[in-house]
Amino acid sequence: MDLDLSPEHALLRDTVRDFMVTEVAPVVEEHERERRFPTEIVQRIGELGWLGIPIPEDEGGAGLDTLAYAIAVEEIGRVWGSLGLIVAAHTSLGCGPLHLAGTDEQKATYLVPMASGKAIGAYGLTEPGAGSDAGGTRTTAKRDGGEWVLDGAKRFITNAGHASTYVVTARTGTTDRGDAAISAFIVPADTPGFSVGRLEDKLGLHASATGELRFEGARIPAANLLGTEGEGFRMFLKILDGGRISIGALALGLAQAALDASIPYAQTREQFGRAIGTFQGVAFMVADMATEIDAARSLVWKAAWLKDQGRDYGLVAAEAKLFASEVSARATNAAIQIHGGYGYTTDYPVERFMRDAKLTEIGEGTSQVQRLVIARQILGLRVV
């Protein structure tokens, strides 16, 4: 699908696409096979200004809009899911909280280096017992004079071990209702008492680092409280709304990659003396893939547009993330089916697309959580 993009958006899309195809695609399989974080490539896209696309220029970013960001993440994910996730987590989850709630000093110290591509960011929310239930956070932060002392652990954190700055959530008390009061903190990678634990051996996205964060009496300055004490949970909800757009865009890229691989294969692979694309069983799978991808892209772009207009976008972002991620799962599975036995081997990239796509149904809120978010807003009831 090629909607009537502005010249600026079209130029960004074409520039990212050309870079990914010519400079990045040749090294993808090597990095994935070796489970190697693409440090040099991340530095390169940082130099190109693609690690802070939606962040204002005075905060170190490119000063573009959310739609531009979604387009870029899709084009990156279309070639390399791992790199798309690295960029999405860094931008939406690493830079996003600092842009939303950071003081001028915090932005100058931490956000500007990240948004300008000189450093990588990460967001520490999930814990062994707190994933979808973020209110179940057990990591604590206690005030000790001019410092906060953090104890606990985070799990499944993207960019773990490669980020220079982590934004993490921790309990700082109890609300009047008896719930955990959650606050957000900025934790530099060299903080005493902070360390990165095990890195996960994952189904897909092998070149993206996913790991554990450990806090053992980790001391940070009192000034590293991000936003207002006790408001970390609300901040987290706002950040996830925006992050869902980028994960939807990543899912789109993977789905489009599956379709891109399936079309020439269906046109040239022969069985019974004819191209397999001439059989309805295959042709209809391609038709369904193309139709659903176009529909998903419309939702993702609508959510981005609403955010750029300053309008309420939370519902559409949840719909976009839900639909795009499930379309990605169906499209990548169909691509393997079209490729037959070859699709099940590593000789073709479609098996990687399917493994990578699964994360989009889990990260930034599972499909089940998205349905809760959507249903609650539509019904005005607390669906559980």
Q: What is the pLDDT of residue 2?
A: 56
For the stretch 113-149, pLDDT in tens is: 999 999 999 999 999 888 778 778 999 999 999 999 9
How far apart (Å, rounded) are the C-alpha atoms in residues 355 and 333?
Answer: 9
pLDDT tens digit string along 36-92?
A: 999 999 999 999 999 999 999 999 999 999 999 999 999 999 999 999 999 999 999
In a 13 Å sphere around the CA of 359, the CA atoms on its Cβ side amount to 28
Q: Which of 45, 9, 158, 167 is nearest to 96 (CA)?
A: 167
Element (H, E) at 112: helix 112-115
* Contact of 3 with 301, CB cutoff 8 Å: yes
pLDDT at 359 over 90: yes
- Look at residue 381 and tell me whether its pLDDT is greater than 90: yes
Average pLDDT over the chain, rounded to whole? 96
DSSP for 122-145, please give it: EEE--BTTBSS-GGG---EEEEET
Percent of residues, the chain, with pLDDT higher than 70: 99
CB 94 within 8 A of CB 232: no
Using the predicted structure, report yes or no on whether residue 194 has a pLDDT greater than 60.
yes
Whether 74 is catalytic: no
Other Cβ atoms less than 10 A from the Cβ of 86: the count is 27
Q: Choosing from 59, 326, 351, 364, which is the catalytic residue?
A: 364
In the predicted model, is pLDDT for residue 255 greater than 90?
Answer: yes
Q: Which two tokens stand for residue 249?
A: 């865009």
